[in-house]
Chains A and B, each alone.
Chain A
């Protein structure tokens, strides 16, 4: 968490002031960049990312915290952006699927999902990958039962689960970057 301390203490609007309910300036830090959105306090992080910041890699599935398609990292931890209000993320680091690749070089987990055929329709895939990379950093990838339990917050309607687990095993066994802070 140490790398987020500077952000936590960075100058920002006086948080104690009551803002909204109309549109207000919300200062976010997304994928290493400072971004400003003019939004109401009730806007979710998911909607702010997709509709205001043009980061549409994060998907809206159920919009009620049941499916995991909207998984992003806040301060390096995987969370659900549909149940997070964007304004609560001021002074926190938000990371989305767009930050994983370096140019045209895919993150090893992205490559493994391609190589292992770990998706069909692909709608849940960004959430699956954000969850999978975070899981490698958390541990809990000992065997398929453990992987299944710790990936259970990401539903795949096409049921590509065996291949998703295979992709995670491959990155685990290659000792590739499972580093959520990357």
Chain B
């Protein structure tokens, strides 16, 4: 790890001022991604501004019925918030199916959105990687890419977005609240995560020194009937090979409302809009689910070792929808 200097911010304005004034500085929150990447020289700030003492860890009711999750709320605390569990169970499930108990105590939910990809070439400073070092090529496209994305890829980058939480948030149309040198703004979650395109180094629209202060969950009654289903190589403490966040309501065997998003298979948390369009109003049958899953994965591009993910994602979608349909049928 390169030498770094350190200060601890006592208020939000001071934290933003300190980081925005110095291009080689960075916020430090839970540190679970950042300390790891500092140690392997993938990130090399000269100064860390510790924001853990800032009053941004509360979970509050929003007027109109939503919830605001403070950016510094820890994954473990958010997952146990009773109102979140009751109104947005898929969010709690996504959090508890990610990382380990120790990491969930450390990691913040803003940091969860800002975490970097786990592509082994991104993490290896000797390898070509357009995300870490633009213009050096993508080593994963013809390399070891079993864990890589099949949706949202480009000829520059195929790294999978690692967040589980993000998948539930895109299904819910959450809104990211930020504060920076230019003031505050609200960014719809689907615009917060950027596709790699020709600029994979650019993962979100934030400017240097702009801080994620909170995440707003909008009021959404159907979210009370939601699940996060995660498929992985081992039962716990592992990233998704494919995952599905789904909220669904069924009336008289027809789907009246559907939210669907995919993780583990795309370069950003993936809202399955094509599948949603086909499912909305359709009979809640395996046939409908299969047709929707096939349509969503139709544009998928495999790169050799990750070809299996296309079928795995289809089956995970169908299974998640079947689970929801059975539960809907029994209530």
A18 near B5 (CB under 8 angstroms)? yes
Partner of B39, one of A21, A22, A63, A78: A63
B103 near A42 (CB under 8 angstroms)? no
Is A166 at the interface (CB under 8 A from chain B)? Answer: no
Is A84 at the interface (CB under 8 A from chain B)? Answer: yes
Residue of A nearest to B35 (CB): A83
Instruction: For B40, list chain A residues within 8 Å (CB).
Output: 64
When chains A and B are docked, how far (Å) is the Cα of A159 from the Cα of B222? 43
Given contacts A83-B31, A152-B100, A153-B100, contact A77 B105 (CB under 8 A): yes
Instruction: For A85, list chain B residues within 8 Å (CB).
Output: 6, 28, 31, 35, 48
Instruction: For A77, list chain B residues within 8 Å (CB).
Output: 76, 105
Residues of B within 8 A of A (CB-CB), count: 36
Q: Which of B7-15, B82-90, B165-173, B292-300 contacts A (4 or more CB under 8 A)?
A: B7-15
B38 near A42 (CB under 8 angstroms)? yes
Instruction: For B47, list chain A residues within 8 Å (CB).
Output: 18
Is A10 at the interface (CB under 8 A from chain B)? Answer: no
Residues of A within 8 A of B (CB-CB), count: 38
Interface string of A63-99 (1 = CB under 8 A from B): 1110010010000011110111101101000000000
Interface string of A100-132 (1 = CB under 8 A from B): 000000000000000000000000000000010
When chains A and B are docked, how far (Å) is the Cα of A68 from the Cα of B76? 17
B236 near A19 (CB under 8 angstroms)? no
A152 near B7 (CB under 8 angstroms)? no
When chains A and B are docked, how far (Å) is the Cα of A134 from the Cα of B3? 33
Partner of B106, one of A15, A22, A84, A135: A84
Q: How far is the CB of A8 from chain B (nearest CB, A)?
A: 9
Is B124 at the interface (CB under 8 A from chain A)? Answer: no
When chains A and B are docked, how far (Å) is the Cα of A63 from the Cα of B36? 8
Residue of A nearest to B105 (CB): A77
When chains A and B are docked, how far (Å) is the Cα of A135 from the Cα of B105? 12
Interface positions, chain B 294-323, Cβ under 8 Å from A, are none
When chains A and B are docked, how far (Å) is the Cα of A79 from the Cα of B14? 27
When chains A and B are docked, how far (Å) is the Cα of A65 from the Cα of B40? 13
Q: How far is the CB of B263 from chain A (nearest CB, A)?
A: 19
B105 near A20 (CB under 8 angstroms)? no
Is A44 at the interface (CB under 8 A from chain B)? Answer: yes
Instruction: For A78, list chain B residues within 8 Å (CB).
Output: 101-102, 105
Q: How far is the CB of A73 from chain B (nearest CB, A)?
A: 9
Is B50 at the interface (CB under 8 A from chain A)? Answer: yes
A-B contact sample (8 more), CB < 8 A, given A19-B6, A63-B39, A80-B102: A15-B7, A19-B7, A42-B3, A42-B38, A44-B35, A84-B31, A88-B8, A135-B101
Q: Which residues of B contact A (CB under 8 A)?
A: 1-10, 14, 28, 31-32, 35-36, 38-40, 46-48, 50, 52-53, 76, 99-103, 105-106, 235-237
Given contacts A80-B106, A131-B102, A153-B237, contact A20 B39 (CB under 8 A): no
B7 near A17 (CB under 8 angstroms)? yes
When chains A and B are docked, how far (Å) is the Cα of A41 from the Cα of B101? 26
A16 near B101 (CB under 8 angstroms)? no
A42 near B4 (CB under 8 angstroms)? yes
Is A148 at the interface (CB under 8 A from chain B)? Answer: yes
Instruction: For B3, list chain A residues within 8 Å (CB).
Output: 20-22, 40-42
Instruction: For B31, list chain A residues within 8 Å (CB).
Output: 83-85, 88
Q: Can you show 15 pairs from A to B with CB atoms below 8 A apart? A: A16-B7, A18-B6, A20-B4, A21-B4, A21-B46, A40-B3, A78-B102, A80-B102, A80-B106, A84-B31, A90-B8, A135-B101, A149-B235, A153-B103, A153-B237
Partner of A64, one of B2, B4, B39: B39
Interface positions, chain A 24-75, Cβ under 8 Å from B, are 40-42, 44, 63-65, 68, 71
Instruction: For B52, list chain A residues within 8 Å (CB).
Output: 88
Residue of A nearest to B37 (CB): A64
B50 near A79 (CB under 8 angstroms)? no
Is A138 at the interface (CB under 8 A from chain B)? Answer: yes
Instruction: For B100, list chain A residues within 8 Å (CB).
Output: 68, 152-154
Instruction: For B1, list chain A residues within 8 Å (CB).
Output: 42
When chains A and B are docked, how far (Å) is the Cα of A152 from the Cα of B46? 34
Partner of B237, one of A16, A20, A41, A152: A152
Partner of A65, one of B8, B28, B103, B236: B103
Given contacts A83-B35, A83-B36, contact A138 B101 (CB under 8 A): yes
A131 near B101 (CB under 8 angstroms)? yes
Partner of B5, one of A19, A90, A154: A19
Given contacts A42-B4, A63-B39, contact A71 B102 (CB under 8 A): yes
A41 near B39 (CB under 8 angstroms)? no
